[in-house]
Structure 1
Amino acid sequence: MLEISNSVHLPDSEVELSAIRAQGAGGQNVNKVSSAVHLRFDIRASSLPAFYKERLLMLRDQRISGDGVIVIKAQQYRTQEQNREDALQRLVELIRSAAKVEKKRHPTKPTYGSKQRRLEHKAKRGAVKAGRGKVEF
């Protein structure tokens, strides 16, 4: 059972894990051993609270398909067990990140100093560009 927060838990039966062969360098171990893990998690069919489901489905993340299925491929480690733990940890982090509510930004006016620095920079750039003109003798 995965613990998302104190009150939200995810049963292991909702997470589908399958072992696949990893890609990339690694020689005979990579070519013969299925050490990479492919994790699939259906958001809509899960037992997560509605708040979590809505926030996850609103995310613009390449790991979430159009059908609302999270697909994570873990192949960083040499052993299947380590990759399984890595995939599950990444799933928990993704769900937790979706639950965080960002504070609303209150726009502020630029300070007097920042206005002065901006104008000085503009004047310097203008002088540089003005110096690039045609040279007359």
Structure 2
Amino acid sequence: MENKKTIYFLCTGNSCRSQMAEAWGKQYLGDKWNVYSAGIEAHGVNPNAIKAMNEVNIDITNQTSDIIDSNILNNADLVVTLCSHADSVCPSTPSHVNRVHWGFDDPAGKEWSEFQRVRDEIGERIKRFAETGE
């Protein structure tokens, strides 16, 4: 299992988007990738993110809200920022770390349908990456 690549999903608070991305990543990429998520800050896992993922039969109640771990960041194969704030303030990464930005709206504080929409968009994007490598 040591030959797995590492993907690191980042957003502002590691509360909604990156939590969903970590869960989808484990579902679609878990056989080939070590999947982690973190935030610039740690705001706790949003209860609506847990509820939204439960709707698609993915349990994230045991995921934790974490700040960026420089060891994971500097050794990841791929770092994915999920919001413009994380993209602009994310610590620099070494040249061997591939870094991309996949922007998604922040559902926090919005209507329930926003959590569902963002959950589905993140899931579709990660599924596409799993299928195409892009």
From the CA coordinates, give the structure whose radius of gyration is larger. 1
Report the TM-score when normalising by structure 1: 0.28
Report the TM-score when normalising by structure 2: 0.28
Q: Kindly indicate whether structure 1 or structure 2 has the higher relative contact order, using CA contacts under 8 Å at least 6 residues apart.
A: 2
